[in-house]
Amino acid sequence: MSVETAVFLAGLRHLPPSFTVAQAQTAMASDGVDGIAMADQLQNFLPPSLWTKENAPIAEWWSDMDCVDDAFTLAAYVYASIAGARMTLLTDSVRTGPAQLVHQMLTLADITEGRATFQIGAGEMKQCDPFGWKRSEGLSRLDDLLQIVRAFLSSDEPVSFSGRHWELSNAFLGAAKPHRPTVWGLGSGPRILDLTTSYADGLCSAAPNSWPTAQEAAAAIAGVRRDLERKGRDPAAFRFGLVCPMLVHEDSDVLDRALENPIIKWTTAVFGRTLPERWREVAEEPATPDGWTYFLKMKPFETPASFVEEVVGRTTRRMCELGYFAGSPVEVAAQLAPYVEAGVDWISPADYLPVVLPLDEAAGALPRSVAVCEHLKALVATRA
């Protein structure tokens, strides 16, 4: 039993890229951190009505949270200062064509000497529709994409392919592949699981969003392994990861205030459970309407302030407590360790607390994320 850790970083154009480099260097100075994770996003998850200095003190200086750097470009820049680290990028099947994405993957795999993993999902509404792509095509595009990626990576000859969205005819990116990128599926729905077990090297889900308990994670992992065996693939060669939203601080008063913050309530309501109806499993009513999921419905700049206010008002304190891993680094590590025992071998803690902290306090967030990784590795080693 072992676990690979990746500190989640977000590059924002409000800060120079050198700031992200410094964060990565700080994280990688610890033996408890194996790599860095970054999300390929065009905009963030907050409606403008929530972005106030009362909710997020940094809003006094920053106009928004949507000035997100391109993750692929930034990853290459960051890696130059942390050579030897593992790099993980989260992206989707909609916004980049398969040949271009494979081209990017091969380049980053080359730069990192094979330490690059790409987790690919079916996309989010907020990343797609406002920019002219159709989120409704996400799963069928993922089907095409994973097959095309596998074809390019497994052959030294030109690739031809006929799918739902892409037609390739003797497409050739060259035979040189000194380092192979690793490709994982990203998500937990049945169609994503089917495509992932057919074509990918691993699966990344989210907890507590999609797998609220370690027991549920163990059951899902066992099902994936059965599917791999049924498809003639080796379950032992397949990996499982989790992105874990958390609120980490040693001071319980800081956490108490954060759990009442409208931004934390909003994020709890919209993706504390990936499928909001699952709140009823813990005797809580969803704060969003039935059928409303963030990945299919949320467009921050088309979300009325009245809807935001209603959702925040319906989000209970208990939902916030169940929507994040919260506590000190030691306490959060103890909450994550059972997932490793369940079969997860890659974990990326993603701390949302800095968004709602004063700027001087937010600066201490990265060391706390690093400490979570350190304590988690120590716990796992002891239990193993």
Global confidence as pTM = 0.96
Sequence-ordered alpha helix ranges (H) in 156-276:
190-199, 214-230, 252-258, 262-271
Total domains, the chain: 1
Write out pLDDT tens, residues 284-341.
999 999 999 999 999 999 999 999 999 999 999 999 999 999 999 999 999 999 999 9
**Contact present, 161 and 167 (Cβ < 8 Å):** yes
Mean pLDDT of the chain: 96
H-run or E-run covering 370 = helix 365-383
- Among candidate residues 324, 207, 334, the one with its CA nearest the CA of residue 265: 324
In sequence order, the 6+-apart residues with CB closer than 8 A to the CB of 289 are: none
In sequence order, the 6+-apart residues with CB closer than 8 A to the CB of 354 are: 362, 365
**Contact present, 111 and 76 (Cβ < 8 Å):** yes
Q: Residue 375 pLDDT > 90, yes or no? A: yes
Name the pLDDT band for 256 (thresholds 50, 70, 90): very high
Q: Residue 384 pLDDT > 90, yes or no? A: no
CA distance 349 to 245: 6
CA distance 303 to 194: 33
Domain region containing 139:
4-383
pLDDT at 1: 82
Looking at residue 206, which CATH number applies to its domain? 3.20.20.30
Name the pLDDT band for 245 (thresholds 50, 70, 90): very high
pLDDT at 145: 98
